[in-house]
Structure formats: structure tokens, C-alpha cells
């Protein structure tokens, strides 16, 4: 999305296309458009809902410009701008030059700071990138495509980009990651992208699961809704979107993202249930289910990021269907090896209005991963499977502060509203912002 920011006599105007300055909405003699609270408390959450409703109503009635009085709610300008601009996103069909434009073209605030608008639009741009990548079909958005996206971001924002190919990963001993990709014709990529805004300080590292299509492998998924497995790279999309937002804001922080990108397919040479593989850390893994592949690529990436001497590592993954059963589509699952880190993420989620819920990470759950044939199995059974998936990852993160976000329930919507949500770009960006401001 391309937005223009201009000051007017009535405040600051956010223009979706061409900048227009109007003091009020004029629609067949009506100069005010009121949206009620419906008995709800006025807070950030209801402001977001109101902003989306207002944008949809304006488009429904063909309004092109809105003047919005500033309400006494923390971060009102940022919340409203972000919600209304994000609402402008449209899924773009392949080979369509441009989606049909909404009628709403500009918003004028009564009062506001340009910095708040700039921040909101940077986050929206990051979310738009994440949504676009998520919505692309898997025959287009391959591991190679994700690598190309990272390289383009590096050129645009003067970032450092490194792409490891299969032979290089094999040399590093990434047997776990490569066990997932070997059944696919699409070559795997390990993508690293770094932004340096604060000298030699330790970086925040975000690791995003990038399974561009997940058939389940030999443990084949049911055919129903398998098309939605193109969204199994939304972790990768979200960290790329976060990097775009942070780089656009030019924050005083060091940020690195790492994306293990693969396609998981059944083939004559694909991994089989019962196979034993060795990860980059040297730990061996018995593969009991080839559909539990996300943790197999993440564990090697989590070992790889030790080279950055990170201040903190957060992995983001559409990891388990169980988290959808537990939390639905409203909150992402959060697990961490340090409570202070978990608290910081929860705090950022509240500001960003991008909810999480913390789940346990106790030793008793870790015992479910025991294997008679390797150091661990890649699944721990049906019970608490979101937690045991995180316990698996925790075995590779003992050298640094780490948190895991399971976004399987929040990364996309199904049904008539099918499409990527861009979550948790807002949460991750707010977390980085909080660190930059300390």
C-alpha cells in the first residue's frame, strides 16, 4: 500500500490515493456519519472495531472522504489509522493488474501526530506483505520465491541478506530440516535478513516457519481444506512483514530474521514414519509422523541462530492444529523458557491488540517425547500436543532466551472470508518497538 501524509487546516490527513482535504463528509445532504458503541466500553479494542465498521460503512455508501474527531483513548490515531488502512487490503487475483479500489480515499483527523500515523502505516505495510505472501498459491510462493522476497527487501531497505542452499545446509549438518524437503522438487532455502540500527548491540532474532505447502508428506493430510496448507508459511510471512515495518520506521535496534523454507511432499525418497535423523545440534530424532514437520525445520534454524549471539529469539509458526482447539481464532499460543520474556510479549500484544495466551512448558510434558530409538520423537501423542511441540523446540533453545508463538489459529481465516490476516506482525513490531525504546 502507498499512503501520502499531509497536514491540513483540520489536522493530519491520511490519503489512500490522491490527497484531498475536506472538513466533513458530504453525501446527499448528510454531513455526519455516526457509528454507535452498542453499549460497549470505549477502549482500544472497541476503537479498532469502530474504525473497521466506519471504513466498511463509508465504502458501502460510496463515501470518499472522512473527517474523524479524536477520542480520548490511548493510541487512538494509531489504532484508527492501522485498522482502516488494513481494512483497505484486498486479496488480489492472479494476473489481475490491480484489485478494485474501495471508494474511501482519505481520512482527516481532528488532531494527531504524524509520527503515530507513520508508525501505523509502517505496520500496515508489513501486514500487507505478510497477507500477500500468505494468499499466494503455493505454485508461485515457493521457497525460492520467499528468498527472492527477502532479497528485494534487502535492496529496498539496505539490509544484509544471506541465502543458504541445500548443499550448504547439508555441510552444516541440518539433517532435520533437509529430511522435510527431500520429497519435494522445490529446493529448500535458509533465508537470513538483518537490519542494523543500533551498532554492536545483540540482535532480536525472529525465526519464521516457511513450509510453502504442507501435504503432510507420507503421513498424508485429508483432502478437505488441504488447499489452506499454502498458509503453512505464514510464520515466515509474518517475520518478513515485521522486518519491513521495522526497517521502514528506521528503529534504533538490531533485528535479524531467519526463515527455514521448504515444501513437504510425499515421494519415493520422502521421510517415512520410523526414520531416525540427526539435527544440526547433534541430537537424533525419531520421525513418528511426517506431518509434524514444522518443528523439524525450526529446530535446525534455532540451532543456526546461535551464531548471531542473540539477545532474544522468538519463533513464529503455524505449528499445531491443537492450538486452534484450545484458543480458536482469537489468540495465538505463547510458550517461553523465561517468564520475563513472556510478560514482555503479552504486554506488546495488549498494545498491538494482537492477542496471545500463555501455555505451560513443564518438564512433565517434555517426557512425552521419549523415544526408544533416538534422543527424542518428533511428536508426543494427542495430549497437550501444542505444548509438547514447544517442548521439542525448547530442547534446541537452551543457550538463549526464547519464546514460541503458535499462530495456526490466527494466521488466516477460512470460509467466505478466506485469506491471510497478517498476524502477528503488529505484535512482533510492537515488541521490537518496546525494545528500541528502552
Left, alpha or beta for 191 (phi > 0: left; psi -120 to 50: alpha)? beta
Q: What pLDDT score was predicted for residue 71?
A: 84
Give helix then strand counts, H and E, for the chain: 13, 18
Q: Which three cell numbers stand for residue 39?
A: 453499549
Is residue 174 within 8 Å of residue 262, measured between CB atoms? no
Which residues are 161's β-sheet partners?
Answer: 193
Taking the CA of residue 295 as centre, how many other CA atoms within 13 Å lie in the half-sphere pointing to its CB? 31
User: Could you tell me which CATH class the domain 123-437 is placed in?
Assistant: alpha beta
**Domain-wise residue ranges, the chain:** 4-112, 123-437
Q: What pLDDT score was predicted for residue 64?
A: 82
Angle at 236 (CA atoms; ends 233, 238), nearest 5 degrees: 110
Which residues are 335's β-sheet partners?
Answer: 404
- In angstroms, the CA 330 to CA 407 distance is 10
Q: What is the pLDDT along the chain (438 residues), one digit of tens a residue?
A: 333 333 333 343 443 332 333 333 333 444 555 566 666 788 999 999 888 888 888 888 788 888 888 888 999 999 999 999 898 888 878 887 776 778 888 888 887 788 889 999 999 999 999 999 999 999 999 999 999 999 999 999 999 999 999 999 999 999 999 999 999 999 999 999 999 999 999 999 999 999 999 999 999 999 999 999 999 999 999 999 999 999 999 999 999 999 999 999 999 999 999 999 999 999 999 999 999 999 999 999 999 999 999 999 999 999 999 999 999 999 999 999 999 999 999 999 999 999 999 999 999 999 999 999 999 999 999 999 999 999 999 999 999 999 999 999 999 999 998 999 999 999 999 999 999 987
Catalytic residue among 295, 331, 395, 435: 295
Alpha helices in 278-394 (DSSP H): 294-304, 322-327, 339-352, 363-366, 385-394
- In angstroms, the CA 157 to CA 371 distance is 46
221 is catalytic: yes
Q: What pLDDT score was predicted for residue 13?
A: 41
Q: What pLDDT score was predicted for residue 428?
A: 98
Is residue 282 within 8 Å of residue 375, measured between CB atoms? no
295 is catalytic: yes
Catalytic residue among 45, 56, 182, 221: 221
Q: What pLDDT score was predicted for residue 33?
A: 56
Give the pairing of strands 106-109 and 210-214: unpaired
Q: What pLDDT score was predicted for residue 24?
A: 37
Radius of gyration for the chain, computed over Cα atoms and rounded to the nearest angstrom: 22
Q: What pLDDT score was predicted for residue 93?
A: 83
Amino acid at each position: 500500500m502507498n499512503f501520502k501524509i499531509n497536514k491540513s487546516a483540520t489536522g493530519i490527513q491520511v490519503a489512500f490515493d490522491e490527497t484531498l482535504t475536506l472538513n466533513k463528509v458530504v453525501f446527499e445532504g448528510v454531513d455526519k456519519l455516526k457509528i454507535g458503541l452498542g453499549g460497549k466500553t470505549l477502549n482500544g479494542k472497541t476503537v479498532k472495531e469502530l474504525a473497521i465498521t466506519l471504513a466498511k460503512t463509508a465504502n458501502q455508501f460510496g463515501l470518499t472522504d472522512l473527517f474523524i474527531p479524536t477520542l480520548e483513548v490511548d493510541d487512538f490515531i494509531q489504532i484508527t489509522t492501522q485498522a482502516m488502512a488494513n481494512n483497505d487490503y484486498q486479496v488480489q487475483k492472479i494476473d489481475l493488474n490491480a484489485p478494485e479500489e474501495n471508494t474511501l480515499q482519505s481520512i482527516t483527523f481532528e488532531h494527531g501526530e504524524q509520527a503515530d500515523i507513520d508508525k501505523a502505516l509502517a505496520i500496515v505495510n508489513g501486514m500487507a506483505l505478510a497477507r500477500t505472501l500468505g494468499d499466494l498459491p503455493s505454485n508461485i510462493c515457493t521457497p525460492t520465491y520467499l528468498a527472492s522476497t527477502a532479497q528485494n527487501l534487502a535492496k529496498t531497505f539496505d539490509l544484509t541478506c544471506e541465502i543458504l542452499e541445500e548443499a550448504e545446509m547439508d555441510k552444516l549438518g541440518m539433517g532435520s530440516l533437509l529430511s522435510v524437503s527431500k520429497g519435494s522438487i522445490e529446493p529448500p532455502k535458509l533465508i537470513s535478513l538483518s537490519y542494523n540500527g543500533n551498532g554492536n548491540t545483540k540482535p532480536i532474532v525472529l525465526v519464521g516457519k516457511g513450509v510453502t505447502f504442507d501435504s503432510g508428506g507420507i503421513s498424508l493430510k485429508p483432502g478437505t481444506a488441504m488447499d489452506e496448507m499454502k498458509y503453512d508459511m505464514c510464520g515466515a510471512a509474518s517475520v518478513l512483514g515485521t522486518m519491513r515495518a521495522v526497517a521502514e520506521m528506521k528503529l534504533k535496534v538490531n533485528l535479524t530474521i531467519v526463515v527455514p523454507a521448504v515444501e513437504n511432499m510425499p515421494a519415493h525418497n520422502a521421510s517415512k514414519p520410523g526414520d531416525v535423523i540427526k539435527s544440526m545440534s547433534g541430537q537424533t530424532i525419531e520421525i513418528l509422523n511426517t506431518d509434524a514437520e514444522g518443528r523439524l525445520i525450526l529446530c535446525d534454524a534455532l540451532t543456526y541462530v546461535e551464531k548471531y549471539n542473540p539477545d532474544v529469539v522468538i519463533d513464529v509458526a503455524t505449528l499445531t492444529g491443537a492450538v486452534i482447539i484450545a484458543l480458536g481464532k482469537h489468540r495465538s499460543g505463547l510458550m517461553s523458557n523465561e517468564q520475563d520474556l513472556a510478560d514482555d510479549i503479552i504486554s506488546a500484544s495488549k498494545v498491538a491488540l494482537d492477542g496471545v495466551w500463555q501455555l505451560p512448558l513443564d518438564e512433565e510434558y517434555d517426557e512425552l517425547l521419549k523415544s526408544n530409538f533416538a534422543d527424542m520423537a518428533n511428536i508426543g501423542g494427542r495430549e497437550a500436543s501444542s505444548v509438547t511441540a514447544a517442548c521439542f523446540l525448547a530442547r534446541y533453545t537452551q543457550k538463549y532466551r526464547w519464546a514460541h508463538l503458535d499462530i495456526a489459529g490466527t494466521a488466516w481465516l477460512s470460509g467466505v472470508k478466506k485469506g491471510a490476516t497478517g498476524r502477528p506482525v503488529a505484535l512482533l513490531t510492537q515488541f521490537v518497538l518496546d525494545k528500541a525504546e528502552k
